[in-house]
Amino acid sequence: MRTDDIKNYSVTECLRDERSVTIRAVRPDDKGLVIDALNEVSPESIYSRLFAPKKEFSSEDLKQITEVDFVNVVALVAVMKQDGSEQVVGGGRYIRLERSERGQSAEVAFLVGDAFQGLGIASRIFGHLVAIARDAGITRFEAEVLPWNKAMLRIFTRGGVPVTTTTTLESVHVVMHLTGDEKASATDGLPPHRFRNE
């Protein structure tokens, strides 16, 4: 997939509650929609995404969120119609890491508005990011997740790709093998159902 194709990426899908959502590439002119969405996100959700509290987002933050190159950083937003206007209800991105002997990795992360969690939005964004990343030669996604963020852990472990996890007191390091050539396992010795059934 060419960079221009990713910049124009847009797919409309049906959510669990039968509402439509469009998963599309973020655009520089989304800054207003993004800040509106972030203003509706709880401090707890912000903390689970950033591992730190954050009350305000600067113009530089918004630039970083909405102005990406779609080569080293790919960012998608989930958009729904609200009273005839677009509303950003979630987003996700991956950022390429340094290539290693294990292949090309990228860090992946999501944030979905509190009122729209549980509808499958993050799972859909994840699926599209996986498809784009595979086409771009990325072989692994990596993510740091707070241990209590079970919803995010479920998204990764049920995302249709083999997953390995390593748990510390502070976080869970998740590796998603996009080529499918790794056997999914819990590398820290936790029971295999630890994240799948919660």
User: Per residue in 121-142, pLDDT tens?
Assistant: 999 999 999 999 999 999 999 9
In a domain, 42, yes or no: yes
pLDDT at 181 (0 to 100)? 59
In a domain, 88, yes or no: yes
In a domain, 73, yes or no: yes
173 DSSP β-pair partners: 144, 166
Residue 46, sorted as left (phi over 0), alpha (psi -120 to 50) or beta, turns out to be alpha
In a domain, 194, yes or no: no
Q: Is 86 exposed, middle or buried (0-12, 13-18, 19+ CB in 10 A)?
A: middle
For 73, residues 6+ apart whose C-beta sits below 8 A from its C-beta are 93, 94, 95, 96
pLDDT at 129 (0 to 100)? 97
81 DSSP β-pair partners: 86
Q: How many other β-carbons are positioned within 10 Å of the β-carbon of residue 109?
A: 16
pTM assigned to the model = 0.85
pLDDT above 60: residue 106 = yes
In a domain, 198, yes or no: no
Q: Give the start-end residues of each E strand in 54-84.
A: 73-82
pLDDT above 70: residue 183 = no
pLDDT at 50 (0 to 100)? 60
In a domain, 46, yes or no: yes
Helix H segments across the chain? 3-7, 31-39, 43-50, 59-66, 121-135, 150-157
Q: CATH number of the domain at 93, please.
A: 3.40.630.30
In a domain, 161, yes or no: yes
Q: What is the pLDDT of residues 87-105, one digit of tens each?
A: 999 999 999 998 877 789 9
pLDDT at 182 (0 to 100)? 52
Give residue 52's domain range. 3-186
pLDDT at 49 (0 to 100)? 72
In a domain, 167, yes or no: yes
How many domains, the chain? 1
Q: What is the pLDDT of residues 23-82, one digit of tens each?
A: 999 999 999 999 998 888 887 888 677 655 566 788 998 999 999 999 999 999 999 998
pLDDT at 52 (0 to 100)? 58
Mean pLDDT over 173-181 rounds to 87
Place of tokens 């509106």: 36
